[in-house]
Every structure is written in structure tokens, then in C-alpha cells.
Amino acid sequence: RGAKDATDGVLAYHSGLESESLRRVGLAADLRRALDRDELEVHFQPKVELESGAVAGAEALVRWPHPTFGPVPPGELIAIAGSTGQLGQLTDQVLEEALKRSAEWAGPDGPLPMAVNLSPRTLADGGFPARVAEVLGRHGVPAARLTFEITEDDVVADGSRLIPVLDRLHEMGVRLSVDDFGTGYSSLGYLRRLPVQEIKIDLSFVQGMATDADDRAIVAAVLGLARHFAIDVVAEGIESHRTLEELRAMECEIGQGYYFSRPLPPDRFRTWLETQGDGGAGGTRLRAV
Ligand code: C2E
Ligand code: MG
Ligand code: MG
Ligand code: MG
């Protein structure tokens, strides 16, 4: 990619870098509109109890079907929202939709447990816990039915800075989950310092289990660690029956993955939930309407 100075602007750039930044500038400009017009969507993927097959909850995953660029990958969307100061609004919209659905999809024992992904930038906002309390209250969802997932990298990089807000959320009764566990850092000391109730074993290890003894050893070690700390474990990225059986044999309790369901738009997720009635001991979670 040949660097040209600003005076040379007549010559078009054709490097991949250039079209990438054009895309970014275009998306950043469009995101304002998308947020104001409620064009972002939220899809839902179940968390499943591996032994019984019962639905343990759902994870909310943001989607942006851009009219010309097509679906924007969530990672890219979050990065843009972060750099343009729009992440707070994005998170608020996802949380709103997630808790609305949690209440709507209540089962016999209350609202469907719901997980929402957070970026450290959101937790740096001191007003966040109060907004969470407001949305929970408005939808009548008990705090213990809400889990925030934060990737291990973010927890390790920002952990100490985030402790006050994490502690406040914990005091409210909200659960904290460490996402993509195992991909981050070698020190696990933060598990003692932070109010963590769940870890999600990164899908790279889960998918490797079928063929790789190293990955199986890592999964087994994480399960042992979690048992010690009395932390729940979710295996993410289960795509095959074989992986499911291995995880069951290792007494991993909860899983997520395409084997059960891809993330689905709300109407299809509801339909999926309704078909879970005869699958396992838990039965359908939906209250009869
Ligand atoms: P994550 O929280 O670790 O979510 C899991 C990702 O793996 C999702 O990708 C999901 O669609 C995908 N996945 C689930 N099961 C399987 C499987 O069996 N096989 C494979 N190959 N993939 C599977 P997605 O939806 O593209 O999200 C990517 C990441 O973007 C998420 O990773 C999360 O870190 C972030 N993200 C998504 N929504 C939000 C949001 O509302 N806020 C924030 N801050 N981050 C979000
Ligand atoms: Mg997640
Ligand atoms: Mg993950
Ligand atoms: Mg991930």
C-alpha cells in the first residue's frame, strides 16, 4: 500500500486498508441513525442443562442488519460504538430488549434467566447500575435472573478498575460471568477478587475436545477449578453429539452451541422454546398462556 500525502488526493487509494476505513467511517455515520430508529436487533441463544436437556436460560446477542453492508459482525459493531461514544446507548437497547423477553418468556419459576454481554467501557460508566436496576424493576425481572458476560481479556485488563461497579451489581444480585474463559491470561487470581458466578469455557477448547487431548485436559482443569470456587460452568460452541456426550461424562452442567440452537430472532426463539417440552426433565419453560 503506497502512502501518499494529503496533497496527492486525486489519486484514489485502492489498498484493503483504505476500503476498510471507508467502511468504518460509513458504519460509524450510520450507527447514530440505526440507534435512533431502533434498527439494531437482538437474537437469543439458549443455555441448556446438559444432563436433562432443560433450558437454563438465554444469551442476548446484538445484530445489525445494515441495509447496504449486510450483517455487521458484533465485534466490529461494538468497536465502532465504543469509538464513537454510542456504546452506552447500544447496551441500553440490548438490555431493554433482553429483559423484556426474559419477562415475556417466563416459566413456572419466573422470568427466563437472561445473559447480556458487556464491554468494560460500559462498566466504567458509574450510572450503569442504576439504569440496570430501573430496567429490571420496570420488567419485573429479579436481579438474580440477569447475568452479565464479560470476556476474560477485559476482566484481566480492567478488573481492578471495574471492581466498584462489579461489586455494586453483585450487591444488587446480578450474576457475573467470565466469557471466552481460557483464551486470556495465565493468572487466575482474579477469580478470588471478583464476584464471579459463572465461567464460559471458550468454544475453541470445546470444539477441540473431540480430537485433541490437550483441549480435553484444559476443559477438565477448568471444570475442577470451577468446582473448587463453586462457580457454574457453561461450555460454549457445542456443535456435535459427541462433544455433548464427552461434556456430560465430565459432569459439565450447562452448554450452548449450534447443536442445540443458533442464536435466533425473538419469534423463532419463542417457537424453539415451545418445542422443548418433551425433551427433558425440565419440560417447557413457558408458562401456559
Ligand atoms: P460471545 O459472547 O462469546 O458469544 C458467542 C459467539 O459464538 C456468538 O457470536 C455466537 O453466535 C457464537 N456461537 C454460539 N454457538 C456456537 C457454535 O456452536 N459454534 C460456533 N462456531 N459459534 C457459536 P456472535 O453473535 O457473532 O457474537 C460475537 C461476540 O460479540 C460475542 O461473543 C460477544 O463478545 C460480542 N457481543 C455480541 N453481542 C453483544 C452485545 O450486545 N454487547 C457486547 N458488548 N458484546 C456483544
Ligand atoms: Mg457471551
Ligand atoms: Mg464466548
Ligand atoms: Mg467470543
Quote ipTM for the complex.
Answer: 0.98
Query: What pLDDT does 90 receive?
Result: 97
Largest CA distance in the chain: 70
Question: Rounded to the nearest whole angstrom, what is the distance from the C-alpha of residue 118 to the centroid of ligand 2?
Answer: 8
Q: Residue 288's pLDDT is what?
A: 45
- Tell me, what DSSP letter sits at residue 238? -
| pLDDT at residue 10 tops 80 | no
CA distance 100 to 203: 28
Neighbour count for residue 239 (Cβ, 10 Å): 15
The pLDDT assigned to 185 comes to 64
Buried b / exposed e across 266-288, counting CB within 10 Å, b at 16+? beebeebbeebeeebebbbbbee
Average pLDDT over residues 179-194: 81
Cα 14 to ligand 3 centroid, rounded to whole Å? 35
Name the average pLDDT for the chain.
89
State the amino acid at position 205 in one-letter form.
Answer: F
Please indicate whether residue 264, judged by its CB atom, sits closer than 6 Å to ligand 1. no
Q: How far is the CA of 202 from the centre of ligand 4 (A)?
A: 7
Q: Residue 8 in contact with residue 28, Cβ under 8 Å?
A: no
| Cβ neighbours of 52 (radius 10 Å) | 14
Nearest CA to ligand 1 atom 24: 74
Q: What is the pLDDT of residue 14?
A: 53
In this prediction, residue 154 has a pLDDT band, given cuts at 50, 70 and 90, of confident
User: What are the residue ranges of helices labelled H in the chain?
Assistant: 16-36, 74-83, 87-104, 120-123, 128-139, 152-172, 190-193, 203-208, 213-229, 241-249, 266-274
The Cα–Cα gap between 193 and 196 comes to: 9
* Segment 155-166, tens digit of pLDDT: 888 778 888 999
Question: What is residue 41's DSSP assignment?
Answer: E
Q: Which is nearest to 260 in space by CA: 42, 73, 58?
A: 58
Cα–ligand 2 centroid distance for 187 (angstroms)? 21
More confident residue, 187 or 175: 175
Closest CA to 160 of 199, 128, 124, 185: 124
Spatial separation of the C-alpha atoms in residues 115 and 95, rounded to whole Å: 9
For residues 177 and 148, is the Cβ–Cβ distance under 8 A? yes
pTM of the predicted model as reported, rounded to 2 decimal places? 0.91
Across 40-54, 152-166, 214-228, least confident range: 152-166
CA distance 2 to 123: 40
Which of 150-154, 241-245, 274-278 has the lowest average pLDDT?
274-278
Residue 193 is predicted with a pLDDT of 84
Tell me what the mean pLDDT of segment 54-75 comes to.
95
**Predicted pLDDT at 124:** 86
Residue to substitute in 117, 203, 244 for testing ligand 1 pocket (most ligand atoms within 8 angstroms of CB): 117
Q: Give yes or no for residue 228 having a pLDDT over 80.
A: yes
Q: Which of 203, 174, 34 is nearest to 95 (CA)?
A: 174
Cβ atoms of 118 and 109 closer than 8 Å: no
The 10s digit of each residue's pLDDT in 189-221 is 888 888 999 999 999 999 999 899 999 999 999
Section 73-100 average pLDDT: 96
DSSP 167-186: HHHHHHT-EEEEEEETSS-S
